[in-house]
Chain A
């Protein structure tokens, strides 16, 4: 066994050594080769960890930010109004909320398409009729659908961090990234960096030095009625949390069920282990 351990340790050393060797690469601030330039900041989210839950008030604020700002360009095709009940809204509130939207429906009995107010069973209507229209209106890059954005973005954590993530249950790469991106527009590009025409520098953007989306939100743009600070940082936190909910609406249910399952497996495992000891007690093995 000692030999096994020594050989394992040796192999580990070699692996770490080569990894460090691979990571050693020339860095040039004006022409970076790896993105994002800055790693996303890790925030503490209410929904992190084994007992995480969504902060209802935060989700409601995030919905407000989405509705008043993001939804001008970003669709959220997979989310139905009815699911807003998760945010703590009553049925009547959801009906009223949905009715604020106009849904293109049809054909009716006469074969005509028509507009009608939204119903709870409708999904959020998209701001553009199709992806081509979205791209044409936004300088050639269609704004991504936001339904799954919080799970569809994640900066690679790299070795050895991805191992630690297993133990810390880090699964907030998406919201961390979105928050960092939204708050990263005020950073100045390093001297000598070439920013392509029609794009905007953001050191947190994961696929280049800049992106087509301009700074989307400024301090004071959305009015909060619960006294929360009306800053870009707070907006970014709230909308990131909201997008996490939109991407993973059953997160609370999942973690709650998970705890029960883990407790059951622990107790059942302990009982089976004791039984196993008893069964094998008189057999040397």
Chain B
């Protein structure tokens, strides 16, 4: 997978025999042992590994849950409760799976924000970035369908609202909605196809992850300085250096994950989802899972018609547009410098964008009334302005700080002033992200 020449030399006869026929050990060696990584990566670069174990954890727990789950509207809710009560360690599997989805998104958001901060999407990593965006889209579809499976009130009404978006699309909208639902309303056919797709999509995610990692190993990792690797001194071998650092990052992440699984397993869910779905009783506030809230806020912020586009279609367009922005980032950012470390103005706007995304998330959880609507409209405006105005314009007018000549120079410069502590604990803030 990695660019450049392979340094793998099989030591045993069997190894040589295998290598001549199917060089799988060589692939693993080149990708996860000898693969050179920049020596200055900080802990924000451990989220790729963290996301991989979350995907594996979701698939493993999910497969076992599927052995006990029944995708029938009359039985689904009860089968989930059977898992919670009677299946050996069923409560653990189910809480790991439901909270695992949330933490999968926590990790992916940190991963995406890291990319935005350090300009990881810039040439030659555009395709790598876009593959990541596709994974994110697939994750959203998977998460949404998974939330429908327990067949609680929020499952049902969330599905009703979200599939309702598609009916806003002119001409083909109703047809798409009916195709998704398998009928005219959320019902047994919907639950069955969502279950089938919820089982299928994670494997598609795994497939795109392979492409994502492949692309990564061709272009190599970016790093906090945003300067390309120039010589061997700029890099260290993946194993043991990145392996052990990733392992530590994973354990810290799992610590937070375990805290929620064991002590606050329902904190990130909605109480209404412990009430069996009732098509005749609409909950007071229909709220999607927390990881969709910023987009939900954007959807509801459009309360006005724009020419021929009514507010519903406008909201749907803005919501999908908000995700589409991510795909365009490599071309919207005009800066010659990758990393925000050397871009003081971009850094300011980046943190404003983070705050804006959090504010949108909070607004998405509030009822769309009164001052919340105006706040959501302003926050939506800033969201789009960040991508469509700040990114292109700032790249042209901003004067970046002086860049070091190489990664090695940056590291040595930093450690000169650092008081002789080379380890990560006392690293300068620029590399901590």
Contact = CB atoms under 8 A, between A and B. Distances in A.
Contacts of A268: 251
Contact of A279 (B244, B275, B347): B244
A65 interface: no
A276 B244 contact: yes
B124 interface: no
B240 to A, nearest CB: 5
Contacts of B245: 276, 280
A140 to B, nearest CB: 13
Contact of B91 (A250, A280, A283): A250
A152 B271 contact: yes
A22 B373 CA distance: 10
Contact of B248 (A144, A259, A273, A284): A273
Contacts of B412: 284
A8 interface: yes
B252 A78 contact: no
A280 B252 contact: no
Interface string B272-314: 1011000000001000000000000000000000000000000
Contact of A277 (B267, B274, B284, B423): B423
Contacts of A195: none
Nearest to A77: B78
Given A1-B429, A11-B352, A21-B371, A258 B78 contact: no
A255 interface: yes
A14 B359 CA distance: 10
Contacts of A253: 91
Contacts, number: 144
Contacts of B254: 265
The contact size tier of chain B is: 35 or more
Question: In terms of DSSP, what is the predominant structure of the interface of chain A?
Answer: helix
A275 B347 CA distance: 34
A247 B263 contact: no
Contact of A22 (B266, B371, B429): B371
A165 interface: yes
A4 interface: yes
Interface residues of A, number: 58
Contacts of A153: 271
A22 B422 contact: no
A174 B271 contact: yes
Contact of B344 (A3, A151, A154): A3
B262 A258 contact: yes
Nearest to B359: A15
A7 B262 contact: no
B138 interface: no
Interface in A227-256: 247, 249-250, 253-255
Interface string B233-255: 00010001100110110011011
Interface in B35-73: 39-41
B331 to A, nearest CB: 26
Given A4-B347, A174-B271, 8 more contacts: A11-B355, A50-B263, A171-B267, A276-B244, A276-B247, A280-B423, A285-B39, A285-B427
Interface of B: 39-41, 78, 81, 84-85, 91-92, 95, 236, 240-241, 244-245, 247-248, 251-252, 254-255, 258-259, 261-267, 271-272, 274-275, 284, 344, 347-348, 351-352, 355, 358-359, 362, 366, 370-372, 375, 411-412, 415, 422-424, 427, 429-430
27 contacts: A3-B347, A4-B347, A8-B355, A11-B351, A11-B355, A15-B358, A15-B359, A22-B366, A78-B81, A78-B85, A144-B275, A151-B266, A152-B271, A169-B263, A247-B274, A255-B263, A258-B261, A258-B262, A261-B258, A262-B255, A262-B259, A265-B255, A279-B244, A280-B423, A283-B422, A284-B411, A284-B415
- 8 closest Cβ contacts across the A-B interface? A258-B262, A1-B429, A11-B355, A152-B274, A154-B271, A269-B251, A148-B274, A151-B274
Interface of A: 1, 3-4, 7-8, 11-12, 14-15, 18-19, 21-22, 25, 50, 78, 83, 144, 147-148, 151-154, 159, 165-166, 169, 171, 173-174, 207, 247, 249-250, 253-255, 257-259, 261-262, 265-266, 268-269, 272-273, 275-277, 279-281, 283-285
